[in-house]
């Protein structure tokens, strides 16, 4: 597993951005076990060796609590930690909107943050200059959205089977 990728970026990343990412990397938020998890998903980024496990405690359509356990490079861990801070307490719709903003940000596409709170996530925008690292930054988000999508799919199946 490669570590310390942040050091390769030190010249190009803004000092502030670097500090925020390093802080999340050294003190990842949301690394805990949930007593009650309605959804659980794992994700891997083989190109870098990042691995993540996300647990979500859904209360109707709100992410009441979640846990993010990521082992990997600074970018993947920091992104997961920021995800935890931003996502906790949000509705599933909001979560999906934020995930779309993060994707667009990393791919250098147009996005709007109007009406949504993205917390520290704007620091991830610097990652787009490093195509190899984009997957690292996206890992937690794709793992999260995948878990939520699977839930809505199984609900659809349940509904249609009762018809």
CB 2 within 8 A of CB 48: yes
Tokens of 17: 């951005």
CB 87 within 8 A of CB 144: yes
- Quote the least distance from Cβ 50 to Zn ion, whole Å: 4
Nearer of residues 63 and 73 to Zn ion, judged by Cβ: 73
- Quote the least distance from Cβ 94 to Zn ion, whole Å: 26
- Quote the least distance from Cβ 90 to Zn ion, whole Å: 25
Which of 49, 3, 20 lies closest to 119 in space, CA to CA? 20
- Quote the least distance from Cβ 47 to Zn ion, whole Å: 8
Q: What does the binding site for Zn ion look like in residue numbers (CB under 5 A)?
A: 48, 50, 72-73, 76, 136
Nearer of residues 57 and 125 to Zn ion, judged by Cβ: 125
Nearer of residues 72 and 126 to Zn ion, judged by Cβ: 72
Nearer of residues 8 and 149 to Zn ion, judged by Cβ: 8
Count H helices, E strands: the chain? 4, 3
Q: How far apart are CA 96 and CA 2, in angstroms?
A: 30
Q: How far apart are CA 66 and CA 111, in angstroms?
A: 26
């Amino acid at each position: 597993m490669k570590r310390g990728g942040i050091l390769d970026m030190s010249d190009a990343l803004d000092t502030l951005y670097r500090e925020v990412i390093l802080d999340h990397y050294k003190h990842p938020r949301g690394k805990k076990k949930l007593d009650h998890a309605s959804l659980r998903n794992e994700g891997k980024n083989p190109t870098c060796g990042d691995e993540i496990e996300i647990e979500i405690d859904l209360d109707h359509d709100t992410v009441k609590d979640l846990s993010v356990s990521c082992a990997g490079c600074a970018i993947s861990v920091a992104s997961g930690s920021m995800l935890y801070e931003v996502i906790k307490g949000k509705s599933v719709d909001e979560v999906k909107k934020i995930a779309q903003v993060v994707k667009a940000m990393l791919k250098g596409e147009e996005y709007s943050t109007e009406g949504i709170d993205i917390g520290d996530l704007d620091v991830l925008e610097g990652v787009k200059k490093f195509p190899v690292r984009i997957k690292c930054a996206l890992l937690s988000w794709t793992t999260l959205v995948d878990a939520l999508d699977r839930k809505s799919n199984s609900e659809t199946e349940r509904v249609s089977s009762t018809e």
